[in-house]
Amino acid sequence: MRQHRIHAAAYDRMTGPLERAVLSQRRARLLTAVAGQVLDIGAGTGANLQHYQQASQVIAAEPDPAMRKRLTAKVATARVSVEVTSDTAESLRHADASFDAVVFTLVLCSVNSPDRALAEARRVLRPSGR
């Protein structure tokens, strides 16, 4: 896996103004009530973590080692249990129908195969999942 150290180091600063103006409110609206087992695909530096409040556990999948390092540093501030993995969106290690919710935020533009990523999300999502 290629590591994007410069991008990871600058990511939170680059997106900070947009997070404050728009994205944080949208994340809160979409994620605060998400419950049960949650898979956050392409979790990046962990911008979603602060918004999970109802989840019993969040699996944060981030394949880029530099982004994962920053994500891991934020796990201690999360309100719910978080496990960080190196899974790619196109190849998830989890069993079929094992999540109540699967989340993609600002990531499908950067995966190798969006179709494969969405197929994997459907595979690991429970029939009643979101």
The domain that holds 54 is classified in CATH as 3.40.50.150
46-55 confidence digits (pLDDT tens): 999 999 999 9
Residue 2 pLDDT grade (very low, low, confident, very high; cuts 50, 70, 90): low
| Structural domains of the chain, count | 1
Is residue 62 within 8 Å of residue 68, measured between CB atoms? yes
Q: Tell me, yes or no, whether 81 lies in a domain.
A: yes
10-31 confidence digits (pLDDT tens): 666 666 666 677 778 988 999 9
What is the mean pLDDT of the segment spanning 61-76?
Answer: 94
Q: Tell me, yes or no, whether 130 lies in a domain.
A: no
Q: Tell me, yes or no, whether 80 lies in a domain.
A: yes
Residues 31 and 103: their CA atoms lie apart, in Å, by: 9
More confident residue, 122 or 20: 122
Q: Tell me, yes or no, whether 92 lies in a domain.
A: yes
* Pair type for strands 82-85 and 54-61: parallel
Q: Tell me, yes or no, whether 84 lies in a domain.
A: yes
106-121 confidence digits (pLDDT tens): 899 889 999 999 999 9
Q: Give the domain range for residue 47.
A: 5-124
Q: Tell me, yes or no, whether 42 lies in a domain.
A: yes
Q: Tell me, yes or no, whether 129 lies in a domain.
A: no
Q: Whole-model pTM?
A: 0.88
